[in-house]
């Protein structure tokens, strides 16, 4: 047996935070050494951070990344460590993984397949490396002394153990580099990644890692980033080690720590024997790897077992992932922006309640993960927070909610807002902004020389009520030095059902990436059970019992969101077909007819047309939304995912074709 202890570290890095990133790397190496790990994989671009954007174009970024690498190299004595960084070579920038062995730089494996879809823009900054191409590069690693090391499509022969790389996207493509590495006889594939969170994505990762370990006959080590690195993207960590088609270790996800280390001791010889028995295996003879001197210490055998976190084993995985991802995203945004807490304009409805709830969960999850002292230490910049005695005291200082009423607000929403704030432990204020609303109405009436009424001035009278709530909530936010959370959801963003400078006020929009139907389901789950760290919040019944409403028209209008728009499940289905799947209005209509047959063809046609017209009319609003978290492939954020022109033809011809089809279908022409 050849027993080797492998490790993968998930790191919470920050773009261009050089000393912070280096400290996390060095601490992870030290922890791995204490755990007697011989081969350690660190995440992709962990020296610079993955989200440097166009700072990758700066020559200073490249130079400093190499300088930081030279400071990390001596820290690896007695170990083999891979570290990710951008590497400038021959007038091009490459996404590379440095392999360091026992305090010496062995070389660089360069990424072959760049992520260029969705939120990823790697081809903007990096060049892909060609298959089987190798070169050498001079790197300063000891003062002013340059060392010539190999770079390219490499594998490394380290003390009779062959190590190859698939860097993040390399493993997601059909023609994976691992298939060629397997023929070259590698024993280990390291996968340094920066793989963003999306619902259900961990199961996909584990499948290709496990299958890669089986098909390639290797030990497969996957390391990911952790936390809200740069503002929008959340990384869930979740390091994985697989061997010979079996999952042998899986690290925690959504941790609040600076790093999480996952380890397993594996018999490399067992994979070699399995490959020798495989009749279809056709090794390449004569393709030599980079020779690296390294002596692996003797190890005792163990029976590694990947134990999932308890919350991943229940029947509410999406609900659990949602609150843990958004809570971690808020926590990192709070501490990295050095803000003093969060403010929510709490309307008593579902959206603002969800925003307040995830802040409370942020505290509960953080304390459960780090302990009270560890949690407070990470927020030491907030004056007086360390004096908080209990979780409720911490929440009260970190979360302020305000209910802002006008003459059209009702007791139901007021009581719901107060009840929810009390249940969560938030500070709560009630502000009467009706005089401000009426003052603006009076001002404009005098200007125009006529009275405003709901028949002619409906939109203006609604919007000014939303907008008069902005200045006061911003003022409270500024006084506290806090972050104001905008409360619009993705369903509203799709059709522009939000008032700019009203409910879109805020520096961060945590739920703009999730649909209204799911938010309502999630709040019902919180009401009756919720995550273990919080438990049920029965006071949410006051919110969940209501029909969603903007509450901006007079009470006798019985205003509801679905009355203004369409049923939310239908809206979300149309959005998915039209925007995510890029289907035409007629195709969308036919899909809706198949799934929402209880509605008439005429009514469905009206709703499909309404969606497309509102979508085109309101792109400018989506351009102005505060930064939001990326949660799945339905994201509408034009800055990271879903591009659409601000001015367009509005699908006029396509909608005419849809109505012609409906007329023929209904009239039998």
Backbone angles phi, psi at 41, to 5 degrees: -105, 125
**pLDDT of residue 286 exceeding 80:** no
Query: What is the pLDDT confidence band of residue 304, given thresholds at 50, 70 and 90?
Result: confident
Nearest to 368 by CA among 398, 319, 331, 342: 331
Q: Which helix (H) or strand (E) holds 147?
A: strand 145-152
Interatomic CA distance for residues 656 and 586, integer angstroms:
9
Nearest to 276 by CA among 217, 212, 219, 210: 217
Mean pLDDT of the region 182-191: 95
User: Which pLDDT score, from 0 to 100, does residue 275 have?
Assistant: 81
**Buried (b) or exposed (e) across 1-12, using 16+ Cβ within 10 A?**
ebbbbbbbbbbb
Whether the CB-CB separation of 216 and 189 falls below 8 Å is answered with: yes
C-alpha span between 389 and 51 (Å, rounded): 37
Q: What is the DSSP letter of 307?
A: -
Name every residue whose Cβ is closer than 8 Å to that of residue 71 and which is 6 or more positions away in sequence.
22
441 pLDDT more than 90: yes
Tens digits of residue pLDDT in 388-440:
989 999 999 999 999 999 999 989 999 999 999 999 999 999 999 999 999 99
pLDDT tens digits, one per residue of 354-387: 999 999 999 999 999 999 999 999 999 999 999 9
Picking from 103-107, 111-115, 141-145, 227-231, which range would have the lowest pLDDT averaged per residue? 141-145
| Residue-by-residue DSSP string for 580-640 | IS---HHHHHHHHHHH-TTS-HHHHHHHHHHHHHHHHHTHHHHHHSPPB---STT---TTT
For the chain, what is the mean pLDDT?
94
Please report the DSSP string for 29-55 in residue order.
HHHHHHTT-SEEE--TTTTT-TT-GGG
Q: What local confidence, expressed as pLDDT, does residue 143 receive?
A: 63
In contact, 102 and 294? CB cutoff 8 Å: yes
Say how far apart CA 44 and CA 48 lie, in whole Å.
9
Please report, for the chain, the start and end positions of each structural domain, with discontinuous segments joined by +: 3-308, 316-558, 566-669
What sign results for the dihedral spanned by CA atoms 241, 215, 632, 516? negative
Q: Which has the minimum average pLDDT: 42-56, 69-83, 209-223, 305-319?
A: 305-319
Q: Is the pLDDT of residue 269 over 80?
A: yes
- The pLDDT tens digits for 511-563 are 999 999 999 999 999 999 999 999 999 999 999 998 888 778 888 888 888 89
pLDDT band at 341 (very low <50, low <70, confident <90, very high): very high
9 and 40 Cβ atoms separated by less than 8 Å: yes
**Model confidence at 47: pLDDT above 70:** yes
**Beta strands in 244-295, from DSSP E residues, in sequence order:** 246-250, 259-267, 290-292
pLDDT band at residue 117 using 50, 70 and 90 as cut-offs = confident
Q: Which residue, among 647, 357, 326, has the nearest Cα to 512 in the 3D structure?
A: 326
- Which CATH architecture describes the domain 316-558? 3-Layer(aba) Sandwich (3.40)
Q: Which fold has domain 566-669?
A: Arc Repressor Mutant, subunit A (1.10.10)
User: Do 422 and 537 contact (CB within 8 A), yes or no?
Assistant: no
The pLDDT value given to residue 141: 76
pLDDT for the residue numbered 667? 67
pLDDT tens column, 9-24: 999 999 999 999 999 9
pLDDT confidence tier of residue 142, bands split at 50, 70 and 90 = low
Q: How confident is the model at residue 634 (pLDDT cuts 50, 70, 90)?
A: confident
The matching CATH number, chosen from 3.60.110.10, 3.30.1330.40, 3.40.1010.10, 2.40.50.140, for 3-308 is 3.60.110.10
pLDDT of residue 376: 97
pLDDT at 586 over 60: yes
Joined tokens for residue 546: 């209501």
Q: With cut-offs at 50, 70 and 90, classify the pLDDT of residue 165.
A: very high
Mean pLDDT of 200-206: 96
% pLDDT > 70, the chain = 99
Task: Provide the percentage of residues in the chain whose pLDDT is more than 90.
Answer: 88
Whether residue 259 is predicted with pLDDT greater than 90 in this model: the reply is: yes
Q: Average pLDDT in the 27-39 region?
A: 98
């Amino acid at each position: 047996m050849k027993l080797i202890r492998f490790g993968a570290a998930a790191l919470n890095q920050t773009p261009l935070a050089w000393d912070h990133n280096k400290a996390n790397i060095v601490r992870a190496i030290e922890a791995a050494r204490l755990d007697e790990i011989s081969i350690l994989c660190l995440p992709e671009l962990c020296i610079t951070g993955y989200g440097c954007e166009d700072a990758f174009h700066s020559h200073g970024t490249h130079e400093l990344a190499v300088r930081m690498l030279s400071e990390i190299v001596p820290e690896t004595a007695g170990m083999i460590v891979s570290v990710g960084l951008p590497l400038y070579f021959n007038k091009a920038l490459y996404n590379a993984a440095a392999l360091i062995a026992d305090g010496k730089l062995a070389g660089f494996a360069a990424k072959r397949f760049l992520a260029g879809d969705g939120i990823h823009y790697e081809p903007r900054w990096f060049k892909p490396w060609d298959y089987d191409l190798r070169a050498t590069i001079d790197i300063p690693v000891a003062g002013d002394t340059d060392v010539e090391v190999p770079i390219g499509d490499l594998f490394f022969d380290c003390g009779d153990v062959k190590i190859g790389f698939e860097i993040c996207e390399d493993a997601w493509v059909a023609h994976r580099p691992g298939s060629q590495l397997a023929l070259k006889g590698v024993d280990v594939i390291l996968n340094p990644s920066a793989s963003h969170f999306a619902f259900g994505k961990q199961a996909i990762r584990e499948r290709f890692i496990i299958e890669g370990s089986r098909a390639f006959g290797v030990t497969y080590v996957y390391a990911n980033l952790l936390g809200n690195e740069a503002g929008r993207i959340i990384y869930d960590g979740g390091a994985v080690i697989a061997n010979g088609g079996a999952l042998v270790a899986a690290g925690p996800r959504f941790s609040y720590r600076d790093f999480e280390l996952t380890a397993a001791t594996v018999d490399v010889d067992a994979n070699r024997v399995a490959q020798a028995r495989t009749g279809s295996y056709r090794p390449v003879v004569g393709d030599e790897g980079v020779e690296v001197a390294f002596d692996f210490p003797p190890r005792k055998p163990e029976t590694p077992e990947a134990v999932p976190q308890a919350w991943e084993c229940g029947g509410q995985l999406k609900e659990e992932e949602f609150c843990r991802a958004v809570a971690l995203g808020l926590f990192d945004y709070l501490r990295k922006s050095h803000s003093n807490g969060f403010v929510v304009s709490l309307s008593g409805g579902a959206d603002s309640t969800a925003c307040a709830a995830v802040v409370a969960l942020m505290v509960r999850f953080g304390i459960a993960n780090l302990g009270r002292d560890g949690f407070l230490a990470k927020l030491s910049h907030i004056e007086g927070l360390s004096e908080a005695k209990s979780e409720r005291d911490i929440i009260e200082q970190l979360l302020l909610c305000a209910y802002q009423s006008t003459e059209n607000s009702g007791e139901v929403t007021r009581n719901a807002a107060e009840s929810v704030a009390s249940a969560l432990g938030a500070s709560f204020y009630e502000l009467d902004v009706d005089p401000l609303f009426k003052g603006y109405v009076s001002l404009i009436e005098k200007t125009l020389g006529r009275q405003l009424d709901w028949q002619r001035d409906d939109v203006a009278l609604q919007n000014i009520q939303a907008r008069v709530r902005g200045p006061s909530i911003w003022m409270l936010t500024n006084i506290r030095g806090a972050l104001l959370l905008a409360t619009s959801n993705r369903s509203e963003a799709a059709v522009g059902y939000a008032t700019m400078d009203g409910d879109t006020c805020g520096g961060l929009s945590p739920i703009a990436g999730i649909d209204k139907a799911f938010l309502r389901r999630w709040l019902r789950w919180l009401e009756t059970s919720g995550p273990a760290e919080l438990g049920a919040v029965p006071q949410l019944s006051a919110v969940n019992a209501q029909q969603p409403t903007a509450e901006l028209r007079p009470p006798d209008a019985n205003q509801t969101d679905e009355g203004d728009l369409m049923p939310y499940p239908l809206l979300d289905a149309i959005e998915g077909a039209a925007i995510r799947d890029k289907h035409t209005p007629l195709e969308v209509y036919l899909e809706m007819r198949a799934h929402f047959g209880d509605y008439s063809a005429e009514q469905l046609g009206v709703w499909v047309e309404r969606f497309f017209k509102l979508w085109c009319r309101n792109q400018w609003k989506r351009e102005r939304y505060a930064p939001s978290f990326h949660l799945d492939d339905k994201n509408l954020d034009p800055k990271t995912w879903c591009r659409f022109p601000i001015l367009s033809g509005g699908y006029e011809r396509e909608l005419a074709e849809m109505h012609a089809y409906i007329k023929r279908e209904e009239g039998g022409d």
